Amino acid sequence: MNTLYIDTHSNKIIINLFRDKKVFIKKEIETNNNHSITIMPILVEALNEAKIDVNDLNEIIVVNGPGSFTGVRLGVTIAKTLAYVLNIPIKTMSSLLIKAVSFTHEDVNIIEKEKNGVFIGTFNKNNELIGEYTYLRNSEYLPSEKDILDVQLDYEKIIRFTDNIRCINSHAVNPIYIKQIEVQK
Amino acid sequence: MKDIYILGIESSCDETSMAIVRNGNIVESFTVLSQMDTHASYGGVVPEIASRMHTENITMVLEETLKKSSIKLKDIDAIAVTYAPGLLGSLLVGVEFAKTLSLIYKKPLIAVNHTIGHIYANAINNKLTFPLIALVVSGGHTDLILMNDDYKFEILGSTLDDAIGECYDKVARVLGLPYPGGPNIDKMARMGSPTYDLPKPVNDNTYNFSFSGLKSHIINLVHNENQRGNIIRKEDLAKSFENTAIDELTRKVELALNKVEVKELIVAGGVSANKHLREEMEKVAKKHNIAYSIPDFKYCTDNAAMIAAAAYPLFLKKEFADFSLNAKSQSSILEDF
């Protein structure tokens, strides 16, 4: 059972391969807004190191944002194309959920920083989202003691959590942007 | 020789398109998903929304394209994608999609320049006869290009300011016509007479064009008439504008044909869908007794069939891209070759 995990929501590109739900290959590369040059070569490197063909993938997990619009879009485009063409299951996790499931907590606000503001998601101890994701500009953001910014990601916990997530039709896999763009306001 | 099938992918602006083309000139399957209605509500293409819609729709456009043909993805010989010029975010979606297909099927990836794609729209159901002169007219281009062979380009002249398509859009806006402006002016001009006296663009003997003077003149004319409370005869102004602009294109094409000996005249780019331009260029080619080609309407606007057609000569020369291929918002057709 080979699971491909793609996370391109920030300037850190993460491509992992899990074998039978255990971390097998871990790739983490910093990029300077050069997602396009970097993602596919890293994916190929990961497959080569694992000595598997892309056709041997059984499942895909993709982090679908929020984060860098372009970064997320490219990771999601690659992931949904792989899932559609290879006809394998695909699941999405948000950039906030992967943090929430990586540690034990009561009700908590997971914070994802970006250049001009923060994305916020409140999760209960079962990692269920309470309310909706929001975006606040730096000037609007008032930190609270429930806020958690930095979380060491635990990939074994993340991959185990995906057992609770339902697969979606690959056509319907899309980024979540949260932040509105000018013309939509 | 074995038939070569190329899958073309185009996402440089607000159309998600794919096509399967055999031997660079027979279209086996063709899909264009336009986002025009969405962008029309904003008065023009919003780049971020365009990129989002490409990601939303791209696998469905592939499914639709495969449904229309008996050719399977595994039978495809190469994956061709527009990598420049265009909206960066939109181009990137197509480029990463193309890389993914190339990875799965282990088929070469071919990077195609969008402008060259427009020129090769004339290779569909046709064979280009070299040397030829290509008039490329779109929202970003007004170029006269000499081609001595496949991918051998020499730019004879270009616009010094606005592209013809850009000029059409701005004139449409001042006349209060909805987006997209070009086709709407063309329609309106059909109902008018050329009664307005407009200044001729650069009247020199180079192959260069200039449309900003004409554009400014019309904008000023409309403002002045509005201020005086006079009514603009929009149909007549549209007709006068179109006549002046197309006369200028015709004059420069004739100038080139008189000096450079070629076997064919081709017209390419979004503005080649303009009916008046199509008629005038056909007359010019007839007069000079050379072959003439202009794409079918469906291959004039942005589409993937032209990308697959333009990829065919690169396939034969084995000019392939690798997985570090990046998109570029700007690129001259001379830059890459």
pLDDT digits (tens, 9 = 90+) for A135-168: 999 999 999 999 999 999 999 999 999 999 999 9
Q: Is the pLDDT of residue B178 over 60?
A: yes
Concatenated DSSP letters of chain A: -EEEEEE-SSSEEEEEEEETTEEEEEEEEE-SS-HHHHHHHHHHHHHHHHT--GGG--EEEEE--SS-HHHHHHHHHHHHHHHHHHT--EEEE-TTHHHHTTS--SSEEEEEEETTEEEEEEE-TT-PEEEEEEEEEGGG----TTEE------HHHHHHHGGGSPP--GGG------SPPGGG-
> Does position A58 have pLDDT exceeding 80, yes or no?
yes
Q: What is the pLDDT of residue B140?
A: 84
Is A37 an 8 Å CB contact of chain B?
yes
Q: Give the distance from residue B101's alpha carbon to the nearest chain A alpha carbon, in angstroms.
A: 8
Q: Is the pLDDT of residue B337 over 50?
A: no
User: What is the tens place of the pLDDT at every residue in B244-280?
Assistant: 999 999 999 999 999 999 999 999 999 999 999 999 9
User: Residue B336: its pLDDT value, please?
Assistant: 53
Is the pLDDT score of B176 beyond 60? Answer: yes
Helix, coil or strand: residue B95: helix
Q: How far apart are CA B223 and CA A10, in angstroms?
A: 48
Q: Label the pairing between strands A117-123 and A108-114.
A: antiparallel
* Close Cβ partners of B143 (under 8 Å, ≥ 6 residues apart): B115, B134, B135, B136, B155, B157, B158, B159
- DSSP secondary structure letter of residue B124: T
pLDDT of B150 over the 80 cut:
yes
Q: For chain A, how many residues are written?
A: 185
B88-105 helix and A35-50 helix, angle to the nearest 10 degrees: 20
Which stretches of chain B sit within 8 Å of chain A by CB?
42, 46, 48-49, 51-52, 55-56, 58-60, 62-63, 73, 89, 92-93, 95-97, 99-101, 103-104, 323-327
pLDDT given for residue B321 in this prediction: 98
- The verdict on a CB contact (< 8 Å) between B96 and A40 is yes
Establish if A9 touches chain B: CB-CB under 8 angstroms. no
What is the CATH number that goes with domain A2-102+153-184?
A: 3.30.420.40
Whether B307 and B32 have beta carbons less than 8 Å apart is answered as no
pLDDT of residue A87: 98
Domain ranges of chain A: 2-102+153-184
In the structure, what pLDDT confidence band is assigned to residue B146 with cuts at 50, 70 and 90? very high
Higher pLDDT, B141 or B6: B6
Report residue A40's pLDDT band, with 50, 70 and 90 as the boundaries: very high
Q: Which of B11, B14, B96, B328 is the best substitution to test chain A (most A C-beta atoms within 10 A)?
A: B96
pLDDT score for B68? 96
pLDDT at position A32 is 82
Q: Which two tokens stand for residue A30?
A: 């910093």
Task: Please give the order of strands across the beta sheet that includes B15-22.
Answer: B26-34, B15-22, B5-10, B78-84, B109-113
Backbone angles phi, psi at A56, to 5 degrees: -85, 0
Residue type, A166: R
Residue B60: predicted pLDDT: 98
Residue B28 pLDDT grade (very low, low, confident, very high; cuts 50, 70, 90): very high
Of all residues in chain B, the percent with pLDDT exceeding 70 is: 99
* Residue B148: predicted pLDDT: 97
Q: Under CATH, what is the fold of the domain B129-295? A: Nucleotidyltransferase; domain 5 (3.30.420)
Report which DSSP code applies to B88. Answer: H
DSSP per position, B308-331: HHHHHHHHHTT--B-TT----S--
Cα(A117)–Cα(A119) distance, rounded to whole angstroms?
7
Least Cα distance to B73 among B18, B7, B26 occurs for: B7
CB A63 within 8 A of CB A32: no
Whether residue A81 and residue B58 make contact (CB cut-off 8 A), yes or no, is yes
Residue B160 above 90 pLDDT?
A: yes
Distance from C-alpha of B124 to C-alpha of B24, rounded to nearest angstrom: 7
Candidates B16, B59, B72, B107: best to mutate against A (most CBs of A within 10 A) is B59
Mean pLDDT estimate for chain B: 94
- pLDDT of residue B285 exceeding 50, the answer is yes
Q: Is the pLDDT of residue A185 over 80?
A: no
Residue reference for tokens 């990137």? B92
As a whole number of Å, the CA-based R_g of chain A is 16
Closest chain B C-alpha to A8 CA, distance in angstroms:
13
Task: Supply the pLDDT for residue B181.
Answer: 84
Closest by alpha carbon to B108, among B336, B337, B325, B321? B321
For chain B, the residue count is: 337
User: What class is the B5-122+299-316 domain?
Assistant: alpha beta
Alpha-carbon gap: A82 to the closest alpha carbon of chain B (Å):
7
Look at residue A180 and tell me whether its pLDDT is greater than 90.
Answer: no
pLDDT of residue A112: 95
> What is the band of B139 on the pLDDT scale with cuts at 50, 70, 90?
confident
Which among B251, B287, B266, B332 is positioned nearest to B134, based on CA atoms?
A: B266
Kindly list the domain boundaries of chain B, sorted by start residue. 5-122+299-316, 129-295
Token pair of A34 as six digits: 């050069």
The pLDDT > 90 percentage for chain B reads 89
Q: A101-139: per-residue pLDDT in tens?
A: 999 999 999 999 998 999 999 999 999 999 999 999 999
How large is the average pLDDT for residues B18-42?
95
Query: What's the first-to-final CA gap in chain A, in angstroms?
Result: 45
- HSE, side-chain direction, 13 A CA sphere, residue B149: 3
What backbone phi and psi angles, to 5 degrees, belong to B178?
A: -70, 160
Rounded CA gap, A72 and B121, in Å? Answer: 33
Q: Do B103 and A43 touch (CB under 8 A)?
A: yes
Q: Where are the beta strands (DSSP E) in B61-200?
A: 78-84, 109-113, 132-137, 142-149, 152-158
Does B334 score more than 80 pLDDT? Answer: no
Q: Which of A33-42, B69-78, B247-256 is the least confident region? A: A33-42
pLDDT, mean over chain A: 96
pTM: 0.95
